[in-house]
Amino acid sequence: MNVTVEYGDPRSEASRGLLAQSHALMESLFPSESNHYLSIDALCVDNIRFFEARIDGVTLGCAAIKIYDGYGEIKSMFVDPAARGAGLARALLARLEQEARAESLPMLKMETGNLLTDAHKLYASVGFTTTGPFGDYQDDPNSLFMVKALT
């Protein structure tokens, strides 16, 4: 099994499918005002880097980093449920961190749903800790905010 993570296109058929699955999951778990996912068009702007994770050339995961002044925000992190446990999420997180370091960003931040406990465990295992709202986010009982210092 060969896991790779490369720059991708959110408009590709595989990524559109993964993003649709991710959005449907978020909509099934949280009220609309608590969903902060980006549209495909919003993922295609200059300050976002989008990545696809593949096993043996098949795209089964995706994630993006939005570049801000002073930090990077992880967006659109999703792995096909059938491929979970194969290391794609860890590989995506490592690639996002590599991208943030290449941009000389001192930290990564994210907003994630409070019910996504498996994801929280993964993020904590690679050094993320909980924090308060950042950027334009408001305090929301459906959200968990996390940060990882890169310096």
149 has a pLDDT exceeding 90: yes
**pLDDT one-digit tens code per residue, 45-103:** 999 999 999 999 999 999 999 999 999 999 999 999 999 999 999 999 999 999 999 99
For 117, the token pair is 């406990």
1 has a pLDDT exceeding 90: no
Full residue range of the structural domain in which residue 22 is found? 3-149
CATH number at residue 24: 3.40.630.30
Secondary structure, 3-state, 98-130: HHHHHCCCCEEEEEEECCCHHHHHHHHHCCCEE
151 has a pLDDT exceeding 90: no
**pLDDT one-digit tens code per residue, 105-121:** 999 999 999 999 999 99
Number of domains in the chain: 1
